[in-house]
Structure 1
Amino acid sequence: MKEKILIVEDEFIVANDLKIMLKKAGYQVIGIASSVVQARKLIADGQPNWVLLDIMLKGDLTGIDLAWELREMNLPFLYISANTNQSTLEAVKETQPYGFMVKPFRERDLIVMLDIAKYRFGIEKGNDNSVKNRDHERIEGIIGKSNKLEGVIEKIKVVAPTDTSVLVVGESGTGKEKVAHSVHELSDRSAQPIVVVNCAALPHSLIESELFGHEKGSFTGANTMRIGKFEQANGGTVFLDEIGELPLDSQVKLLRVLQEKEIERLGGNKTIKVNVRIVAATNRSLEKEVAEGRFRLDLYYRLNVFPIELPPLRERKEDIELLADFFLAKYAAASRRNITSINKNAMEQLLNYNWPGNIRELEHLMERSVLLAKTAEIESFDLPENPDKFSVEAPGQLKSMEEMERDHIMNALKNSNGKVSGIGGAAELLKLQPQTLYSKMKKLGIDKGYK
């Protein structure tokens, strides 16, 4: 039986084009509504399976208003709109759509987006056979018992057996890479490689070569043929860490690969089919990046098929003791030191701290404390009193954002005695990956040897 779709769109030409595309793809279009009032009547009469929804419609109500009604009816929908300002995107996100397409778009993109939306809806409702009969065992390396962490673990188990794209979001140090590895290890691709790509560390001029490879002689210095990350991961998973750092021109090329499932090596003249699963991660608000023109909306929705949001450590404090004990045992064994416990007062310190650097900060603290401990029990921790303190400019002396960022990095370098990476380095203090900090320092003209 053909799936029934309602089009809610007030521009006749756009709506008619959509109708032709959908009919060609085998869908039954039950009607076209130009307002929320018309849509309500067509939904009641035609009982559609899906709704394609524009935001700006005739009348006083918008597509977002209708979206809330659709959620109450448990009727899945996607947005098709040209509106990409930040406040609208935030309102759109609240309604939890199954996709968002930006006008204009290709027929192929529409059909693929519908397929992704249907697949995501099936997973969410537990209709996909690959996600049934999941066990409730712990995932190795993910430590904790809080309700928020349990929700993350359940999502990993739901999505891992599938091939759908995953977007892991959360603050720096919350364990996004561990989640990516867990998704891969619990999938049917686990026997094949997971290839990690730090998008922030890729030199702009070499991004295409790193991701897709190059042929010998394709540019100065290309003395041999190079296999790119996507070919290396064929059959497995590509983990795109810090995806928000990828430049716009590279986003276009990545989107094409995700759509066509094929690459071209730089300087090559043939396409190469690749079979990879994509897991991406970011500590940025991609909705804000889209609204400010730094991230493509179509790529965002292509990656955001199944989002997993990691809570910061300050929101799962019941896990701190378990994590601290885990890292204590790990680093005591690694350093062959007989450090066996944390006393009550020291544990209270951990529980009362705000953890701006999240799990990574806790791990580094435990590693330092094991090395510095004088007895078998850790009695206290050397924690910053106010790690998030910023200097305040006097009225009338406001600095540019670039000047403020430069001053902030310089201040962190002073506090770390010029150390950039590693335990106690400026990158750790700023909650940045070292490669990201080096890139920012280069851009701002800060010398690596600063003391």
Structure 2
Amino acid sequence: MENKEKILIVEDEFIVANDLKMILKKEGYTVVGIASSATQARAMVTAKKPDWVLLDIILKGDETGIDLAWELLECKTPFLFISANTNQSTLEAVKKTQPYGFLVKPFRQRDLLVMLDIARYRYAAENHAKTSVQAHRKQLAITGIIGKSKLLNDIFTKISIVAPTDTSVLITGESGTGKERIAHSIHENSTRKNKPMVVVNCAALPLSLLESELFGYEKGAFTGANTQRIGKFEQANGGTLFLDEIGELPLDAQAKLLRVLQEKEIERISGNQAIKVDVRIIAATNRNLEHEVAEGNFRLDLYYRLNIFPIELPPLRERKDDIQLLAYYFLKKFSAANSRAITGFTPQVLEQLQSYNWPGNVRELEHLIERSTLLATGNEIDEVNLPESANIPSAPLQQGALQSLEDMERNHIMQVLQACGGKVGGQNGAAGILKIPTTTLYAKMKKLGISQQYY
């Protein structure tokens, strides 16, 4: 049996820890110890120097696995979480520690081994590229991504690492953070750049049309199929397939997609032969897929297939150093497009842009600058209509009175709608930012009396 890396198990439940040890040893890993607390694990990391740490969240003592994870990140010891704790706040805290995987208890042996294989591949790929990152950075061809903040530079570094490979990439982040632009940058800096990049919006793809859109069909496959149709996978052959809003795919559609990714071949509807496809997959979502997996809404095996190299885009409120650069970039773009001689912003406007929270992220800023450019009367933008200062109808407050929960919900929904330019559903719509189904948002708008005239 191949002698794989050394692994430390940090788990306070003896039965779970022993099962993990047996599975790992059978697969050729060396288990250097089992720790039940952060204190015990800390000593074992120092003494045994494991290559990997499998980490539970709830441990004996006052410290959690998340506390220990920050130390492992600092000392550059890669780790993976295995936990039954899947609430939203915990998942967000876990993600900040940059683990190489998160497995939900109870788990299947196969899931553990697949997660470890993918984690090892990611770790090796990252380390192989570190020595040549600066050389790659100088050669990066990136257009339309503006900024110099550390967070954005970290994204550029990740692009330089993964772009030259055929590795699948999962891009996550809030609506409006630029996920599709990052996907294009990966493709444009890859060996596939001279082949097509085909975009599929999974949120706009009903299950009934999934197979015909992705895989195509033969003439006569169904009523109205008068000609042969080539699907998205064949169109992207040799290039890149970008699956946007992958988190919106229903479970049945996820199963069909997984089969193609595993077999690397498709069959047209009513076709009688398998067609091999050579496609690099990039997927994107504004959903927390770890949470969706824990809730049973997203297949764990498909998540592993897509999450080989994750790139998480920060919201604009976390990279405020880039706001002024972005504002001037969009000003130049829209001034030229509309033949306007507008050259800058007043200090008051720049201060407003910096202090605003940007729930719609870069896209909201772009739309705001476009509108402000059209409305400007001089050679400077001296006023911007931000939602916080906009004249949005709301329930009147009596002197000293507090808003009801219903009034707060109404005002927040209208603020988000205004930031999205009135778009409710689909890509970059208000429902996505609010993280609720489009039908639910329409029902809330009807109940709260929010009509189109208000946004």
Matched, 1:374 2:377: yes
Q: Which residue of 1 aligns with 2:179?
A: 176
Q: Which residue of 1 aligns with 2:350?
A: 347
Q: Give how far 1:410 is off.
A: 8.9
Matches within 5 A, 1:43-442: 49-50=51-52, 53=54, 55=56, 74-78=76-80, 93=95, 96-100=98-102, 113-126=115-128, 133-136=135-138, 139-385=142-388, 425-427=421-423, 432-433=428-429, 440=438
SS at match of 1:374: coil
TM-score by length of 1: 0.75
SS at match of 1:133: helix
Q: Is the CA contact 2:52–2:79 (under 8 Å) kept in the aligned structure 1?
A: yes
CA distance in 1, matches of 2:328, 2:93: 42
Amino acid at match of 1:234: N
Q: Is the CA contact 1:10–1:35 (under 8 Å) kept in the aligned structure 2?
A: no
Q: Give how far 1:303 is off.
A: 2.0
Instruction: Return closer, same or farther for 1:59/1:314 CA change in 2, 3 Å cut-off.
Output: closer
SS at match of 1:240: strand
SS at match of 1:135: helix
Instruction: Return closer, same or farther for 1:10/1:260 CA change in 2, 3 Å cut-off.
Output: farther
Q: Is the CA contact 1:173–1:358 (under 8 Å) kept in the aligned structure 2?
A: yes
Amino acid at match of 2:30: I
Amino acid at match of 1:230: F
CA distance in 2, matches of 1:444, 1:424: 15
Q: Is the CA contact 2:148–2:321 (under 8 Å) kept in the aligned structure 1?
A: yes
Q: Give how far 1:191 is off.
A: 0.9
77-86 vs 364-373, greater mean Cα deviation? 77-86
CA distance in 2, matches of 1:412, 1:244: 25
Q: Is the CA contact 2:5–2:29 (under 8 Å) kept in the aligned structure 1?
A: yes
Matched, 1:30 2:33: no
34-43 vs 139-148, greater mean Cα deviation? 34-43
Q: Give how far 1:346 is off.
A: 2.7
CA distance in 2, matches of 1:114, 1:410: 42
Instruction: Return closer, same or farther for 1:309/1:373 CA change in 2, 3 Å cut-off.
Output: same
CA distance in 2, matches of 1:77, 1:311: 22
Instruction: Return closer, same or farther for 1:356/1:187 CA change in 2, 3 Å cut-off.
Output: same
Q: Give how far 1:180 is off.
A: 0.9
Q: Which residue of 1 aligns with 2:4?
A: 3
Q: Is the CA contact 1:34–1:58 (under 8 Å) kept in the aligned structure 2?
A: no
Gaps of 5+ in 1: 23-27, 417-422
Q: Give how far 1:120 is off.
A: 0.7
Instruction: Return closer, same or farther for 1:383/1:19 CA change in 2, 3 Å cut-off.
Output: same
SS at match of 2:136: coil
SS at match of 1:426: coil
Gaps of 5+ in 2: 396-401
SS at match of 2:242: strand
CA distance in 2, matches of 1:291, 1:243: 16
CA RMSD of aligned residues (A): 4.6
Q: Is the CA contact 1:100–1:301 (under 8 Å) kept in the aligned structure 2?
A: no
Q: Is the CA contact 1:5–1:48 (under 8 Å) kept in the aligned structure 2?
A: yes
Instruction: Return closer, same or farther for 1:222/1:15 CA change in 2, 3 Å cut-off.
Output: farther
SS at match of 1:141: coil
Amino acid at match of 2:279: V
SS at match of 1:197: strand
Instruction: Return closer, same or farther for 1:271/1:40 CA change in 2, 3 Å cut-off.
Output: farther
SS at match of 2:171: strand
Instruction: Return closer, same or farther for 1:210/1:339 CA change in 2, 3 Å cut-off.
Output: same
Q: Is the CA contact 1:169–1:308 (under 8 Å) kept in the aligned structure 2?
A: yes
Provide the aligned length of Structure 1 versus Structure 2.
430
SS at match of 2:121: helix
CA distance in 2, matches of 1:19, 1:390: 65
CA distance in 1, matches of 2:73, 2:272: 47
Amino acid at match of 1:353: Y
Q: Is the CA contact 1:130–1:161 (under 8 Å) kept in the aligned structure 2?
A: no
CA distance in 2, matches of 1:174, 1:319: 12
| CA deviation map 1:292-332 (0-9, x unaligned) | 22222332233222222222222222222211111111111
| CA deviation map 1:50-94 (0-9, x unaligned) | 56x485999999988987786677554556778866677567646
Instruction: Return closer, same or farther for 1:210/1:91 CA change in 2, 3 Å cut-off.
Output: same
Instruction: Return closer, same or farther for 1:167/1:29 CA change in 2, 3 Å cut-off.
Output: closer
Amino acid at match of 2:119: A
Identical positions, percent: 56
Q: Which residue of 1 aligns with 2:398?
A: none
Q: Is the CA contact 1:200–1:245 (under 8 Å) kept in the aligned structure 2?
A: yes
Q: Give how far 1:132 is off.
A: 7.0
Q: Which residue of 1 aligns with 2:399?
A: none
| CA deviation map 1:104-145 (0-9, x unaligned) | 6586x7765444322210233345777573234673221112
